[in-house]
Amino acid sequence: MRKGIASAPAPLEAAAPPQPEDYAEFLRLALPQQAKAVASHRFGSERVWLKKAGPRHGALRYHLLAAITRLLRLDMLTPVRNWGGEVAIATEARRLRELQGAGLRVPSVLAQQADGLLISDLGESGRPPVVLQERLDQAAAAGPAALLATWREGLFAIAEVHARGTYLSQAFDRNLVECPDGRIGYIDFEDDPGETLPLAACQTRDWIDYLHSTAMLVDAAAPHAAEAHWHEALAPASDEVRQRLALAARRVRWLRHLPRGRRWGRDTQRVRAAARLLARWYAR
């Protein structure tokens, strides 16, 4: 058990596989004892994750971001409200079931109640999954070729989601994980862009999220070589998605002139790097 969490019920040790009612009872008992919003637990031989409903989120931040997207005239960047609380729990459970039903690698919903969710871990045989963000940092240290190969895995993981007619919630590198068998899985679905945006906008948003979270590494290492991977991954995308990306590239070009330097914050540098890459890749 992680430090700071009160002792939870003893792990169930049974020869037979756990049944749905076993997971539900574990969730019922462990939830009030967990202090953190998200924590891992041992359930017999399994590692499971318990997500606890937190307080509802305020709306001010979303209104500010929405004003910025209206200024840019880019609906696909409209902030998606994460309501927090029990709404976020219900949204995550629903989206996990939808994506799993589409054949994608996401945690399984083991048990659910209004204020908590118990989901499986994407590891296996004691081997945990590795967040793609960590893999990218390691690859960047090994050189441009290693970075591009890892970055390409993320691109095609997103392309696989879109090929199945769906979308993610926040397609940042921190929400893509490499499972022990090498396949990419997906986590974190507390909000649903599809509640307010059409499918093409949701899918465009996925590409922009991924680029935003990885652009600093790519722009510093191999911006020209990355272009081929970007367009290769986008080749099966709908015309509307590709048109939306080209439009976004035109409308955020000016952001590539944002100031350099750490004093302006990491988020500013991410936006600047993403705008630089999009301007370069859609210059024609």
Average pLDDT on 136-149 reads 96
Average pLDDT on 28-32 reads 95
Q: How confident is the model at residue 44 (pLDDT cuts 50, 70, 90)?
A: confident
Nearest to 39 by CA among 30, 29, 31, 49: 49
Amino acid making up residue 90: A
Whether the predicted pLDDT of 130 surpasses 90: yes
Domain ranges within the chain, ordered by starting residue: 20-52+83-120, 130-281
Percentage of residues in the chain having pLDDT higher than 70: 82
Q: How confident is the model at residue 283 (pLDDT cuts 50, 70, 90)?
A: confident
Average pLDDT on 169-189 reads 96
SS3 107: coil
Both tokens of 145, joined, read 């070729």
Across 64-73, 97-106, 167-176, 213-222, least confident range: 64-73
Amino acid making up residue 271: V
* Number of helical (H) and strand (E) elements in the chain, helices listed first: 9, 7
Contact present, 77 and 39 (Cβ < 8 Å): no
Mean per-residue pLDDT of the chain: 86
Whether the predicted pLDDT of 55 surpasses 80: no
The secondary element (H helix, E strand) that includes residue 40 is strand 38-43
**What does CATH list as the number for 20-52+83-120?**
3.30.200.20
Across 25-29, 51-55, 61-65, 190-194, least confident range: 61-65
The pLDDT assigned to 256 comes to 80
Q: Phi, psi at residue 184, to the nearest 5°?
A: -85, 135
Q: Partners of 119 in the beta sheet?
A: 49, 109
